[in-house]
């Protein structure tokens, strides 16, 4: 046995960085032993392989050995290009560590654990599962660590056993984890997340008419055994917009017999919160598509798009709705710092999917805009935020700032030449993120204008300075505070 291991270890020396392990006999990695495969790892149907130590695999994996034992060791997938797992029989390991930023693609099952323990560790990269037979399978007692938005399973994950489990799945950019809890017996549950609408929205009471999210759903499948379980779902508006205004009315929606029905559950999150949890719901006896539902308002209240752009020294806003259920209207909100908003206009809702537009004055070089969609019950949800930078520079003007760079604590002198009087304006200083840091009121007369502006509050970094008034602004000058 030891001779075989040593001969395998010599392959990278003989064949270079792309040496492979191709096992047709007996390969046993004993405890305390480390084996490296700098290329592909192939385990044939006639082979006998068990890992009780540590094996590092840089290439692709193929396993045809039936009933591969979990062993007692750890398999490290640490390639630098995308790795694949294939073969006719599942690849089982006690522990697996994925440390490949290019990720792992499954065309065969990756099985984790020995029935009492074991773990999948996400260090770097995503796992992509193609079909329900090419999943990540967690044996009873197994677990995972390192799950987040950049480390999860895209596709199918299966959990065996009777314990509560959070499925480490997502869409490649955001997590979409969900919980199965209070299992009545040991069973195999397989879960797959789909980031699109299911397509059928007939509802049964107490779900509200149209009260089912058409943005995403989870397919929960009882793959083996017989058990009931409770479902908990998590929303993230960055992943798919839920746009709810009454979280107490949120429930788990379950597609059964051609229609959606409520499986109970609720949410303790704040109205219009961008992330949150619904559930656990009732004990479910059958499994199929699940998503978010509401018993009092239609979900989602869908804002199709919201855009803002400069137009003749004003901000031109446009938006459209895909669904309008019980809307009152839209508050147009403006901010100069991206944090504190003021309502500057109101547009009444039409009550059906529609397009809207409005032009509003903008006094600063840069401003931020959002919509507050107000429902008939007074609750509100918010749109995305859009920024507008004005570009209405008059000819014959010049702006100079000195000294540049700025010394700590010193004042700056601004020389602004204009062909004619503009009246009251503001010297505004923005940081490189577009946030206004400082503003001073000045009078702009025809000819040469000179202003002394204190800069004691400026931290080290780069800034842009403008003189801005009602419907006009100067060109910007970049300065550096040393």
Residue-wise pLDDT tens digits, 210-264: 789 988 999 999 999 999 999 999 999 899 888 676 788 999 999 998 999 999 9
> In CATH, what number does 303-389 get?
2.60.40.10
CA distance 255 to 155: 20
Predicted confidence band of residue 391 (pLDDT cuts 50, 70, 90): low
Strand duo 104-106 + 127-129: pairing: parallel
Amino acid 298: pLDDT: 67
The answer to whether the beta carbons of residues 330 and 351 sit under 8 Å apart is no
Amino acid 359: pLDDT: 92
CA distance 396 to 263: 69
CA distance 452 to 437: 17
The residue among 61, 57, 64, 109 whose CA lies nearest residue 84 is 61
**pLDDT 10s digits, 29-87:** 999 999 999 999 999 999 999 999 999 999 999 999 999 999 999 999 999 999 999 99
Any idea what the Cα angle at residue 473 is, between residues 469 and 477, rounded to 5°?
A: 130
Amino acid 14: pLDDT: 34
Amino acid 434: pLDDT: 83
Name the percent of the chain lying above pLDDT 90. Answer: 63
Amino acid 427: pLDDT: 95
Kindly give, in sequence order, each residue whose CB lies less than 8 Å from that of residue 184, ignoring residues fewer than 6 positions away: 162, 227, 228, 229, 283
Tell me which of 150-159, 164-173, 357-366, 417-426 is least confident. 357-366
- Residue of 403 and 110 predicted with greater confidence: 110
Amino acid 299: pLDDT: 65
pLDDT beyond 80 at 141: yes
Name the 3-class secondary structure at 274. coil
CA distance 338 to 463: 17
Name the 3-class secondary structure at 255. strand
CA distance 111 to 91: 6
CA distance 390 to 322: 30
Predicted confidence band of residue 377 (pLDDT cuts 50, 70, 90): low
Q: Which CATH number fits domain 398-481: 3.30.930.10, 3.90.550.10, 2.60.40.1930, 1.10.150.120?
A: 2.60.40.1930
Amino acid 300: pLDDT: 63
| pTM (2 d.p.) | 0.65
The answer to whether the beta carbons of residues 36 and 15 sit under 8 Å apart is no
Domains 303-389 and 398-481 share a fold: yes
Amino acid 347: pLDDT: 94
Name the percent of the chain lying above pLDDT 70. Answer: 92
Task: Read off the tokens for 17.
Answer: 């960085």
Produce one character per residue of 1-15: b if its CB has 16 or more CB atoms within 10 Å, e if not.
Answer: eeeebeebbebbeee
Amino acid 4: pLDDT: 41
Predicted confidence band of residue 417 (pLDDT cuts 50, 70, 90): confident
Kindly give, in sequence order, each residue whose CB lies less than 8 Å from that of residue 48, ignoring residues fewer than 6 positions away: 25, 26, 27, 28, 65
Give me the chain's average pLDDT, please: 89
**pLDDT 10s digits, 434-453:** 888 999 999 999 888 899 99
pLDDT beyond 60 at 390: yes
Amino acid 353: pLDDT: 87
CA distance 264 to 279: 7
The full set of domain ranges for the chain reads 2-294, 303-389, 398-481
Amino acid 273: pLDDT: 83
Task: Read off the tokens for 66.
Answer: 């039936």
pLDDT beyond 60 at 16: no
pLDDT beyond 90 at 328: no
Any idea what the Cα angle at residue 141 is, between residues 140 and 147, rounded to 5°?
A: 105
């Amino acid at each position: 046995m030891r001779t075989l291991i040593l001969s395998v270890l010599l392959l990278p020396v003989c064949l270079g960085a792309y040496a492979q392990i191709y096992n047709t006999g007996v390969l046993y990695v004993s405890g305390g032993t480390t084996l490296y495969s700098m290329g592909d790892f192939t385990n044939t149907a006639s082979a006998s392989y068990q890992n009780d130590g540590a094996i590092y695999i840089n290439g692709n994996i193929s396993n045809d050995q039936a009933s591969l034992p979990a062993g007692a060791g750890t398999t490290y997938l640490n390639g630098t290009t995308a790795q694949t797992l294939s073969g006719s029989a599942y690849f089982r390991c006690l522990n697996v560590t994925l440390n490949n930023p290019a990720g792992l693609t499954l065309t065969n099952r990756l099985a984790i654990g020995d029935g009492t323990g074991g773990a999948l560790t996400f260090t770097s990269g995503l796992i992509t599962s193609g079909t329900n037979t090419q999943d990540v399978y967690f044996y009873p007692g197994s677990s995972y660590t390192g799950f987040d938005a950049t480390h999860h399973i895209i596709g199918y994950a299966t959990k065996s056993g009777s314990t509560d489990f959070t499925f480490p799945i997502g869409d490649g950019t955001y997590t979409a984890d969900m919980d199965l809890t209070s299992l009545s017996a040991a069973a195999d549950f397989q879960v797959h997340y789909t980031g699109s609408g299911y397509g059928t929205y007939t509802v049964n009471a107490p779900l509200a008419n149209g009260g089912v999210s058409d943005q995403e759903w989870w397919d929960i499948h009882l793959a083996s055994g017989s058990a009931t379980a409770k479902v908990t779902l998590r929303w993230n508006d960055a992943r798919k917009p839920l746009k709810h205004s009454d979280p107490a009315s949120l429930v788990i929606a379950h597609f059964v017999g051609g229609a959606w029905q409520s499986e109970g559950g609720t949410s303790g999150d704040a109205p219009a919160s961008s992330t949150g949890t619904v559930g656990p719901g009732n004990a479910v006896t059958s499994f199929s598509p699940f998503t978010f539902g509401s018993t009092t308002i239609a979900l989602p209240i869908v804002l199709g798009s919201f855009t803002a752009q400069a137009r003749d020294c004003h901000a031109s806003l446009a938006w459209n709705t895909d669904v309008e259920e019980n809307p009152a209207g839209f508050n147009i909100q403006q901010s100069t710092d991206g944090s504190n908003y003021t309502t500057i206009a109101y547009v009444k809702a039409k009550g059906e999917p529609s397009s809207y537009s409005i032009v509003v004055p903008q006094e600063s070089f840069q401003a931020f805009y959002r919509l507050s969609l107000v429902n008939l019950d007074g609750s509100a949800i918010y749109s995305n935020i859009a920024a507008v930078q004005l570009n209405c520079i008059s000819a014959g003007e010049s702006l100079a700032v000195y000294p540049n760079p700025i010394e700590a604590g010193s004042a700056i002198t601004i020389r602004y030449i204009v062909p004619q009087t503009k009246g009251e304006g503001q010297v505004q200083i923005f940081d490189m993120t577009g946030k206004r840091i400082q503003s001073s009121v000045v009078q702009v007369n025809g000819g040469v204008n000179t202003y002394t502006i204190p800069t004691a509050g400026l931290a080290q970094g780069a800034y842009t300075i403008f003189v801005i008034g009602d419907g006009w602004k100067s060109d910007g000058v970049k300065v550096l505070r040393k």
